[in-house]
Structure 1
């Protein structure tokens, strides 16, 4: 999922806070560096760990929570995985001051995907929105997902620990899901339509 595309300038600070009903524990970033800039990453889930996923010319290095770019380089593209010990909703990126004229000194940062941990306590208990209805709730055997305005694309069901239990593509604007094999408890149902994603708490009796 695409979240952000922007620049860090001199003494720049970028705060990203996703507004969906979910928390995150891993982010994947791609960075294009035009000149000298260091990017410091912090989350509200604890100290981050950074590992490299790819690089076009190995110009970036990693130092604890910082991605370090060397001076006097023609630029390059690299990817990184940023993890936190606990799930987080906000990440802050601080850019260092530049040693000379700020014009031409910048770094482009794109968050291009994220792994998601859905927590039952973080999800709105209302199972009906203006677009998607999930019923009955509580459910015993069959659950129905219905969309009023657009076609359904997929659904995912997570348990209380965030583990994926069921998932499948959807077609049309209504479909029944067999819930009989799921044990009793609280779950999160994430439904994706053509334009939005609905996350809701569901009780299995």
Structure 2
């Protein structure tokens, strides 16, 4: 809840540790009880969070010109173009779970078994790790 000096005396922030069982569209609610000394708690409004799938293909990290991926969005085969040999790939879903970890023997990865959505791919060369986002359609 953002701070509003005209009507509030403070603010509350919180973090949510996601669970592996969360899926897109799940919602959960929470409230906070604030205690000062021995007074009755101040109860905040209920805040509802909904897990959404955000579509974006912007790069996750700088220096990705060393390795490029295409097409993006992809249906079946994700091609890799690199100045150095890519030796390993890891693909993570939107919840940060590793879905695929595999040695790379060519210049492409078959992603046909992935469900539609946003993914992050980490590509490992001998000297560097490069991270890209991609969309599976």
TM-score by length of 2: 0.54
Q: How does 1:174-193 map to 2 (within 5 A)?
A: 175-193=107-125
| Structure 1 runs of 4+ with >2 Å offset | 126-130
The aligned residue for residue 53 of structure 1 is none
Structure 2 unaligned residues grouped into runs of 5+: 1-13, 19-52
Q: How does 1:43-192 map to 2 (within 5 A)?
A: 86=17, 125-126=58-59, 129-148=64-83, 150-171=84-105, 175-192=107-124
User: What are the Cα deviations for residues 14-56 of structure 1, in whole angstroms up to 9, with x where unaligned?
Assistant: xxxxxxxxxxxxxxxxxxxxxxxxxxxxxxx98xxxxxxxxxx
Report the count of equivalent residues. 87
> Which whole-Å CA distance do the structure 2 matches of 1:176 and 1:187 have between them?
16
User: What are the Cα deviations for residues 81-118 of structure 1, in whole angstroms up to 9, with x where unaligned?
Assistant: xxxx859xxxxxxxxxxxxxxxxxxxxxxxxxxxxxxx
1:204 aligns with 2:117: no
TM-score by length of 1: 0.37
Identify, as 1 or 2, the structure richer in strand.
Answer: 1
* Distance change in 2, residues 1:124/1:139 (3 Å): closer
Structure 1 unaligned residues grouped into runs of 5+: 1-44, 47-84, 88-119
The alpha-carbon deviation at position 191 of structure 1 amounts to 0.5
